[in-house]
């Protein structure tokens, strides 16, 4: 689901920037390649549960907090476009493009 990947990436990037960390620092701490983290933050790659746990540990944030924030974002999107809409993409500008299921 593109919406979930995008939301997860946005939340992780926000948390990283809030802590003042660079991708390189998170990469070293989590032992994950910088490029892969960048792709996750841009919503281009899926993060496994193990990888997500490593990223959260590197960012010193609870996995449950990240997932809750992502869930809240998805719920807001569903409320805006309807729960039956299938999100195709969420452009960075915030405009949502969806198609009905």
Convert the pLDDT of each residue in 57-97 to its tens digit: 999 999 999 999 999 999 999 898 876 655 555 445 444 44
Residues in contact with 61: Cβ distance below 8 Å, sequence separation at least 6, in sequence order: 15
What pLDDT, on a 0 to 100 scale, did the predictor assign at position 85?
Answer: 56
pLDDT score of 52 more than 50 = yes
What pLDDT, on a 0 to 100 scale, did the predictor assign at position 81?
Answer: 87
Name the residue with higher pLDDT: 99 or 85: 85
Longest dimension (CA), the chain: 42
- Average pLDDT of every residue of the chain: 86
């Amino acid at each position: 689901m593109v919406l979930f990947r995008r939301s997860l990436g946005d939340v992780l990037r926000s948390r990283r920037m809030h802590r003042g960390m660079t991708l390189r620092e998170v990469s070293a701490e989590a032992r994950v390649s910088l490029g892969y983290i960048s792709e996750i933050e841009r919503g281009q790659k899926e993060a496994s549960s193990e990888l997500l746990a490593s990223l959260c540990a590197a960012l010193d944030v609870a996995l449950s907090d990240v997932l809750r924030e992502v869930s809240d974002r998805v719920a807001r999107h569903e409320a805006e476009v309807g729960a039956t809409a299938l999100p195709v993409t969420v452009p960075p500008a915030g405009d949502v493009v969806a198609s009905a299921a």
